[in-house]
A and B are shown apart, each in its own frame.
Chain A
């Protein structure tokens, strides 16, 4: 039997269908892979028994002829999704022992489609970070660190555990969440595909909230096709999320393999930012060339307020976070640290329960929402957000998709950016604009840096036009010739 952890989801579905192996065998191989790669710290909770039980149940369903879209596929789940009776922490001390009595919409859908969950993956605390260094359970290693002899190479964040796990062959795919780039940036750093759908496509029910007007779940996989397969099983209207979209869901796989002749691809000139790696700029140009060779028309476009997206995000996201995280008061669930009185209990619980970055963002958010500052910061940011959204809308009068780099640099070393908050925030400079506008976007691995680290390119399309997104991404992936083979981790 060949290495079952090196399969794509599409290949595994074929193999299961042809009875070349069972879901149980497929799952067992991944459990072994997880055990052999614990040094990555990609999983904060392994659930092998449940995974095997799920796989056996999947095999039984298949024998009865009941085959879901992800029947028997072992996946990793970011530890931000509530999983019934399985500990869910958001990688925060304050939720360290939280066991949800209910299942998130997205994980429920995936299970209904036949997926088997191998465990919960590591993330930046409450998804606040771009390097997975703020997790209460410790940092995650990027398997590509082996290539540059740096065990502390970061996987990006916040979905760093999911990205590392998919890249190293610990699971066939994983789910992440993206608020300002938390799926796309780690995907780029780890050499995998990461997709954030249109805001509202995936229900937020049961996802630990960070910034509710931005949070979206999405797939992280080794190919574009796998992302399309997974997304198809994650979406749908949910009456428990008031922002859940009621739009018709297309067959995301149907557009794969279609040519891109005549499609217009926009290159926003404002994305040529100061401090961008030369190699990344070269890759961006190469990517545009590859699309052009396949018959797409490449057009320079302008998104003038791009440089204001990041400061806008760093007002809106902390503001929403400060409101969302008010629920962690030590009374009904989560950590409680007793003080002399109620007030002191709140203060101590939240000081001890939240890590430094989360405390900082809650404080910033509290400040920008406080009396006297609301208009100057929060309302101002909401207005700039509208302008950024409208600039995208105008751009999409001219083009069908926008091509940009995913991140301004390849993966960096642990500790390299923790002293300079703004330099850490700048990681998200290319991903945040689409988040603010609620647009679907995907990062695909498109080349290597001179040091041998993966680099990603990002595509953005109109709201609810994931079909064009997958179509162009599939064409770019094929032209870029990236191998979907996992990079096994040998470190200890």
Chain B
């Protein structure tokens, strides 16, 4: 499966990364290069194999009670905000 320019533009939209016109052709080549190379996995018979999604096989995620463990840290949380006002994050208008 190779990707064309329109697919790459669709991925860039999904990933919310702008790709300028001048970079598009090169990016198509680079992504195809990588995708063609990873497609060698098709040679491996994976019939009936359970996908491994954890860092170690058989890992079990522990559960704990859903309790508040941190105190109010509003100033900490806002400290790195690009724009904040009156204890809130300020973001571009979301609703037209």
A contact set with B: CB distance below 8 Å: 97-99, 101-102, 198-200, 212-214, 239, 242-243, 246, 305, 307-308, 311-312, 314-315, 322, 329-336, 338-339, 341-348, 350-351, 354, 359-360, 362-364, 366-367, 370, 373, 376-377, 379-387, 389-390, 393, 421-422, 437-438, 463
Contacts and interface: CB of A to CB of B under 8 A. Distances in A.
A339 B91 CA distance: 12
A101 B79 contact: yes
B16 A329 contact: yes
A199 B55 contact: yes
Contacts of A422: 33-34, 37
Interface string B53-78: 11111010110100000000100110
Closest 8 CB pairs of A and B: A382-B51, A333-B80, A199-B55, A101-B76, A336-B82, A383-B46, A438-B56, A386-B52
A387 B38 contact: no
B17 A350 contact: yes
Nearest to A353: B17
Given A363-B17, A364-B35, 13 more contacts: A98-B80, A101-B77, A213-B54, A243-B54, A311-B39, A312-B41, A360-B27, A363-B11, A367-B31, A380-B44, A383-B46, A422-B34, A438-B54
Contacts of B76: 101-102
Contacts of A312: 41
Contact of A351 (B8, B18, B31): B18
A322 B15 contact: yes
Given A364-B34, A383-B46, A348 B18 contact: yes
A258 to B, nearest CB: 26
A383 B34 contact: no
Contacts of B53: 213, 382
Contacts of A364: 31, 34-35
Contact of B16 (A315, A347, A379): A347
A376 B94 CA distance: 35
A360 B30 contact: yes
B50 interface: yes
Contacts, number: 168
Contacts of B91: 331, 342
Interface of B: 1, 3, 7-8, 11-12, 14-20, 27, 30-31, 33-35, 37-44, 46, 49-57, 59, 61-62, 64, 73, 76-77, 79-83, 89, 91-94
Nearest to A393: B57
A437 B57 CA distance: 8
Nearest to A438: B56
Contact of A243 (B11, B33, B61): B61
Contacts of A332: 77, 80-81, 89
A463 B37 CA distance: 30
Contacts of B56: 198-200, 437-438, 463
Contacts of B1: 373, 376
Interface of B is mostly: loop
A305 B43 CA distance: 10
B17 A351 contact: yes
A384 B41 contact: yes
A331 B17 contact: no
Interface of A is mostly: helix
- Output the residue of B37, B55, B81 with the most chain A CB within 10 A: B55
Contact of B51 (A212, A331, A339, A383): A383
B41 A347 contact: no
B15 A380 contact: no
A99 B19 CA distance: 29
Given A308-B44, A367-B11, A347 B17 contact: yes
Nearest to A387: B49
A101 B76 CA distance: 6
A463 B58 CA distance: 12
B59 A347 contact: no
B92 A338 contact: yes
B50 A383 contact: yes
Contacts of A214: 55
A428 to B, nearest CB: 14
B59 to A, nearest CB: 7
Contacts of A345: 92
Nearest to A366: B15
24 contacts: A239-B64, A243-B59, A307-B40, A314-B37, A331-B82, A335-B82, A336-B83, A338-B92, A347-B16, A350-B16, A350-B17, A350-B18, A359-B19, A360-B34, A362-B17, A363-B15, A366-B11, A367-B3, A367-B11, A367-B31, A383-B50, A387-B44, A422-B33, A438-B55
Nearest to B96: A341
A447 B39 CA distance: 36
Contacts of A311: 37-41
Nearest to A360: B30
Nearest to B94: A342
A397 to B, nearest CB: 15
